Structure 1
């Protein structure tokens, strides 16, 4: 019983994987006009299918514990048995019993053709160390699935946050491209008018048109990326992919989101994956103890009360039928002596499993520390890069303004203006992307320290 539960516990665990099909509830749900990151996370925690499955696994673990506990409670049942011997079984007895030759063998039919028996059976496990260990393992199993549900919750928060920021990053790129398209369209109109009045060269007008066409193509490809990113975000949130959502771009607010961030302290035991390995280690200890307990005695008490009736023909419904009562109580002691060294081999395998788990835990702890250090380094490097890109953006804005002024005054060629416009667009895009990279680095720090749920505070 214990090994069946333990095997189920060890191998039935499923990580976050493919998403399930749509819910049966087709009621139309409305969402805020502008969806913040926190609101997105809250919706995801309520609707994500894999998180729901993890919570159901936690509930199922409680029922498994009740099932194991039930094996130690009284087992009570009723039974009935009807026998119709078409030929009564013959029995061989010494001939001397009935006055014959003692050296002969007489074959007689003992019993009657029909019998009916009904009664109640009661059994109670009095002592079994394996059962007691199984109860402890079942309680630990509940803790295991509780941690799994919490880990699934953290995974949902992390995945929604990453995709939300990714979508915002693409939206900022689209705004930048759209602003450049508006600027190029305005410039195209000016050059078209100048060309018609012989004030501009056709080659200059064509260069603007080529540049405009290139930016429009880039925007079209970006629209596809936005659709895909937002679609996956909705999938993680557990809402229909055709739901119209407007994301809050203030997630990239420098003052509120970046400068006020505090790097969390690292405590490896705050991570759910490390806690899960600790619980698995405890389960392996129980498995080993249970295997050893199989060599220990088990005591069961039982009782049986019944009524019996016998007949040559079926007349058990007769009011004059005589029923004979039987009642017994007893104890059954089972003491394993030798099982072909199976228990010894199972215990050795359990020890090897525990050793492998210990190596997994050491590897996980080193990986967790590396993940945290990498996230912190990435965060500070991202801040440094952001400061540099901010200076570049300010310089590119100044250059663009000067180039526009010089071009309008006829002191600078169109190529200088186009180059300045391209440089500014690139600087703005790099700056926007870097803000998101800083925010992603913050998320990775929270995730590596097991504090990703702080996003809900």
Structure 2
């Protein structure tokens, strides 16, 4: 019984995204969907998380199943026998007369019999059962932590993909702004060319740049659509649902500068907690194996009615029914099982030792992950500061070059180069803000505090 439960308890949830079509509840989305709102919707509708919660619910039923083994087991039974040939019995001669030196073969019994009754069994003492109850309670804790871990995974995935979509949308906005600039320049050059004030090659150069950027925008639209689709899948909403994400998540003043680095406590991480509960379950497994060598005491009772006949006349009202009633206690004491218990216990110990190594490895990996996240965060902040200054310079260069071009003091190539440089500087700055936000997420996730995003 315990072994069956432990099989359930040690089964690690394998998160898998359900790709099939499913009817989703009707709900309305706000005009601008914030990161917090996206996470809340995901926690309500994500299918992987729902499966983890169902596993937690199933663990409660498994615990009740184990508890039921210690409650009275009551059943009714009935048995009908029709001996076409009554079994012969050999008895010493002389019992019923005859030569004492001979063996007499006689038929004892009647051809037909009918028996019905009730049977009651009650476990009085079993150390294995008591250990099973403790393991069942620990198993509930195991699945509860797994559900919490799945919740954190959903929060992390939604946050990462939310930021990914914002990053792409910022790139699109940057391209859109540059397209507007180039389209204005194209109109000016077209007018100048029509009046023989500009060269054909300059107009064509602007058109080439404009076509290139528009092509980049079209490719970016495809990537945004795909990334948004995956975000909706994580949130558990229909892919056709229109969403408008809140770009303030990339606001440097609100989201970047005000971030507080979290303290690190390794036991806040759900993966470490899961390994700790698994160690307890292995300990119960070992104790349960050892308990198999201990006595087990069961009480039982049997109340029945019996009838016997030469012919099938049991429905006759005058039929005589004979009553039987039995109570008793059964003590089972294992003595020798071919040393199976010894080797099962040895295997359980080895499993526990392997798990202990896994836990030590996981703790070291978790600490390294947190330190890497902290290092990445501060490096990202430093890079962001440099890119911010670089963007200001690129903006100034582009403004000055535009002014010089309008005054005829700078060639078109300088203007296009300045525009490209300004566009790249803006894209790098936008990407770096997202990288800083991702580094913040990694700090929260590695410290086991990713749920703080819901505060």
Specify if TM > 0.5: yes
Tell me the distance in 2 between the aligned counterparts of 1:224 and 1:205. Answer: 29
Q: Which residue of 2 aligns with 1:297?
A: 295
TM-score with structure 2 length normalisation?
0.99
Deviation at residue 94 of structure 1 after TM alignment: 1.1
Greater CA drift, 352-361 or 311-320: 311-320
Q: Which residue of 1 aligns with 2:396?
A: 398
Tell me the distance in 2 between the aligned counterparts of 1:364 and 1:10. Answer: 17
Q: Which of 296, 305, 308 does residue 307 from structure 1 map onto?
A: 305
Confirm or deny: 8 A CA contact 2:45 2:237 kept in the other structure.
yes
Tell me the distance in 2 between the aligned counterparts of 1:83 and 1:375. Answer: 77
Task: State whether structure 2 residue 163 is matched by structure 1 residue 165.
Answer: yes
Task: State whether structure 2 residue 17 is matched by structure 1 residue 18.
Answer: yes
Q: Which of 129, 134, 144 does residue 131 from structure 1 map onto?
A: 129
Confirm or deny: 8 A CA contact 1:299 1:332 kept in the other structure.
yes
Q: Which residue of 1 aligns with 2:9?
A: 9
Greater CA drift, 100-109 or 344-353: 100-109
Residues 251-279 of structure 1 show CA distances to partners (whole Å, capped at 9, x for unaligned) of 11111111110000000000000000000
Confirm or deny: 8 A CA contact 1:20 1:49 kept in the other structure.
no
Tell me the distance in 2 between the aligned counterparts of 1:24 and 1:212. Answer: 44
Task: State whether structure 2 residue 179 is matched by structure 1 residue 187.
Answer: no
Residues 322-378 of structure 1 show CA distances to partners (whole Å, capped at 9, x for unaligned) of 111100111111111111111111000000000000000000000000000000010
TM-score with structure 1 length normalisation?
0.98
Tell me the distance in 2 between the aligned counterparts of 1:346 and 1:283. Answer: 15
Tell me the distance in 2 between the aligned counterparts of 1:301 and 1:23. Answer: 51
Tell me the distance in 2 between the aligned counterparts of 1:132 and 1:144. Answer: 19
Deviation at residue 21 of structure 1 after TM alignment: 2.6
Deviation at residue 28 of structure 1 after TM alignment: 3.6
Tell me the distance in 2 between the aligned counterparts of 1:425 and 1:254. Answer: 19
Confirm or deny: 8 A CA contact 2:112 2:309 kept in the other structure.
yes
Residues 384-441 of structure 1 show CA distances to partners (whole Å, capped at 9, x for unaligned) of 0000000000111111110010000000000110000000000000000111111000
Q: Which of 209, 214, 220 does residue 222 from structure 1 map onto?
A: 220
Q: Which of 239, 254, 272 does residue 270 from structure 2 map onto?
A: 272
Task: State whether structure 2 residue 248 is matched by structure 1 residue 250.
Answer: yes
2:300 match: secondary structure: strand
Confirm or deny: 8 A CA contact 2:166 2:245 kept in the other structure.
yes
Q: Which of 361, 364, 380 does residue 362 from structure 2 map onto?
A: 364
2:94 match: secondary structure: helix
Q: Which residue of 1 aligns with 2:55?
A: 57
**In angstroms, what is the RMSD of aligned CA positions?**
0.9
1:245 match: secondary structure: coil
Residues 299-324 of structure 1 show CA distances to partners (whole Å, capped at 9, x for unaligned) of 10000011111111111111111111
1:261 match: secondary structure: coil
Tell me the distance in 1 between the aligned counterparts of 2:247 and 2:349. Answer: 54
Confirm or deny: 8 A CA contact 2:169 2:224 kept in the other structure.
yes
Tell me the distance in 2 between the aligned counterparts of 1:182 and 1:292. Answer: 78
Deviation at residue 20 of structure 1 after TM alignment: 4.6
Residues 226-265 of structure 1 show CA distances to partners (whole Å, capped at 9, x for unaligned) of 0111000001111111111111111111111111100000
Task: State whether structure 2 residue 107 is matched by structure 1 residue 106.
Answer: no
Q: Which residue of 1 aligns with 2:68?
A: 70
Residues 98-118 of structure 1 show CA distances to partners (whole Å, capped at 9, x for unaligned) of 111112111111101111111
Deviation at residue 18 of structure 1 after TM alignment: 2.8
Task: State whether structure 2 residue 424 is matched by structure 1 residue 426.
Answer: yes
Structure 2: gaps (5+ residues): none
Tell me the distance in 2 between the aligned counterparts of 1:29 and 1:202. Answer: 56
Q: Report how many aligned residue pairs link the two structures.
A: 455
Tell me the distance in 2 between the aligned counterparts of 1:151 and 1:181. Answer: 45
2:303 match: secondary structure: strand
Tell me the distance in 2 between the aligned counterparts of 1:272 and 1:360. Answer: 15
Task: State whether structure 2 residue 205 is matched by structure 1 residue 210.
Answer: no
Confirm or deny: 8 A CA contact 1:389 1:431 kept in the other structure.
yes
